[in-house]
Every structure is written in C-alpha cells, then in structure tokens.
A and B are shown apart, each in its own frame.
Chain A
C-alpha cells in the first residue's frame, strides 16, 4: 500500500497567515493527489485534485503543487472558515489511501 505522511499533524496559525501542509508518498504517484478539508461532524470537502487543480467554488487562496512523492497545500491569508482538518489522498494505486490529517487551529 502507498503510505501518505502529512506534516505537520497539528498547526496553529492566525487569521491572515499563510500556511503550508506537506504530503509525502511512500512511492511515486505522479499527480494523482487530492486535498480535502473536513470540519467536525461533516463530510470531507474537495479542495484540489490532480495535485494543483482548484475545485469549482473553492477560494483562490488555496493552492496545491507537487508531483511524484512530495506535495504541498498552501493557504494564503487564512480566514476564520479555514480552521479545519486537511487530508491528502492518493488515487494512483489501489488501495486508495489517505494521509493522517493536519489539524489547523486558531492561535
């Protein structure tokens, strides 16, 4: 199975900050990488697919980059509604796997 490791697991930041979350794959996955945002008690919401493609309706302050084994999610100018848990997912190889999550909290 392809293992995804997110760093950091926990992030504390302030409104207006820029933050970056990294997702490392245990083997190359091309650009078969998706990022989701999840809030407590809710289903995950699609943010970015194909490593860098912004899903319709997602604010442009979210950007994704990377290929192969290292990927990043950057959020520019944090807004109150961005405080949530973020997951990466690989769809290159079965079984589809997810990272352990990065919890973003208000400082």
Chain B
C-alpha cells in the first residue's frame, strides 16, 4: 500500500535552515510527483512546491521561491524539502502529498502524517 513516512519534529532558531524528508513506498516512485504543503497553527493549508520524482523537475510557489529547495533520492525513494532563513511564522506542520491523475482529475491522493517544525529562539 502507498505510504509516505516523514521525518520527526524539528526545533530551529530564526535564520537557520530545516530539512524534512518523506520516504515513499508501495508504488512506482519515479512515475509520480510529490507536493509539499504546510499548515500553520489554526490556519488553512498552504502549497509550497512540487517535484516530479522521475525527472527531478520542480516548481515552487513564488512566496517560497528564494527559500525552498525540493529534491529527491531515487535510490532511497525519498523526497526532501529544505527551507532556509527560517522565521517565527514558518512554525507549522509540513506535509508531503502524492500527485495523482491528469487533466481535471489531478489531486493529492496520499499524504504523509506531517512534520512539526517550530522556529524558536
């Protein structure tokens, strides 16, 4: 079965960087894309960007363009999201989610459990 297993909670100081991993299993890794979405406390969901696991092509939200890097390791079937220059308002749960479908049937069908990132001095 499809599983996305994320790395554990992180506490970082302002200005630092954080890397969150997402280990994928149960499907053909290189044939799907993975998106990263975050959710600040009590807030809605916010899309950050995505990577095609096969080609490595990426697209980022302009909001995070200069601070986020999404990569993958095909041999380890693992995706990574690195966010730099952390600010207090980057405190959130970060999710990876699998991109499924095509055309207007595109959606995020499986989600990781989330990784809490706390920015605190």
Contacts and interface: CB of A to CB of B under 8 A. Distances in A.
Interface stretch (A15-23, A44-52, A75-83): A44-52
B80 interface: no
A44 B63 contact: no
Given A46-B107, A49-B107, A99 B35 contact: no
A53 B105 contact: yes
Contacts of A30: 104
A49 B44 contact: no
A50 B107 contact: yes
Contacts of A31: 104
Interface in A49-107: 49-51, 53, 55, 87, 89, 91-92, 94-101
A95 B61 contact: yes
A13 B63 CA distance: 37
Contacts of B75: none
Interface residues of B, number: 23
A43 B114 contact: yes
Contacts of A55: 107, 109
Given A43-B95, A45-B111, A95-B63, A87 B44 contact: yes
Contacts of A100: 44
A32 B111 CA distance: 19
Nearest to A97: B47
A105 B22 CA distance: 32
A51 B104 contact: yes
Interface of A: 30-32, 34, 36, 42-46, 49-51, 53, 55, 87, 89, 91-92, 94-101
Which 10 pairs between the two chains have the least Cβ-Cβ distance?
Answer: A49-B107, A43-B111, A96-B47, A98-B45, A31-B104, A50-B105, A95-B61, A34-B107, A91-B106, A32-B104
